[in-house]
Amino acid sequence: MVLFFYLLCLVLWLGGIAFFGGFVAPVLFTRLTTAQAGAVVSVILPRYHILGYACGAIGFVLALYLAAARGPRGWWLAAAAALLIALALTGYDGMVVAPQVHRLRAVAEEANPDPVLKAQFDRLHHQSARLFVLAGILDLLALASTAAALSPRG
């Protein structure tokens, strides 16, 4: 059952990243006004972060358990490290960057925004997107490490 819940955490987190980044956000920003899309994303994003916190923390702990109980240690520890870093990036995004983006979102939607505030919004928004992508890459690395750990040659 431990392996099932570990894999469930990976699947949910990776699926959330892929679905939000690959489908939800692009559709929202092509079908709605920027203000409307931003309003919807500002409701979805905190839920995405909660999913990342839960799946990342549980997945990390279970990867450590699997390293100790199942082996091969190296692959499970690599998966645990990738999940821990992805969790840290998601935490930084959710607790530091995203609140600042949300606070500045209205500025970006103005017809003639203050250039300094608009530049700050753009910088933070791009930083948030990079953190999102990096967390996804790290989750994929955790999945690859898991596949290697579960292979017959381990």
pLDDT at 154: 63
Could you list the residue range(s) of the whole structural domain that residue 72 is in?
Answer: 2-150
What is the count of structural domains for the chain?
1
Closest CA to 16 of 40, 46, 57: 46
> Which tokens in the block code for residue 133?
């992508």
Rg (CA), the chain: 18
For the whole model, what pTM was predicted? 0.91
* Per-residue model confidence as pLDDT tens digits over 22-71: 999 999 999 999 889 989 999 999 999 999 999 999 999 999 999 999 87
Instruction: Tell me the average pLDDT across 125-153.
Output: 95
Burial class (CB in 10 A: 0-12, 13-18, 19+), 153: exposed
Range of weakest confidence among 58-72, 102-116, 122-136: 102-116
Mean per-residue pLDDT over the chain, rounded:
94
Please report the DSSP string for 90-127 in residue order.
HHHIIIIIHHHHHHHHHHHHSSS--HHHHHHHHHHHHH
Higher pLDDT, 15 or 110: 15
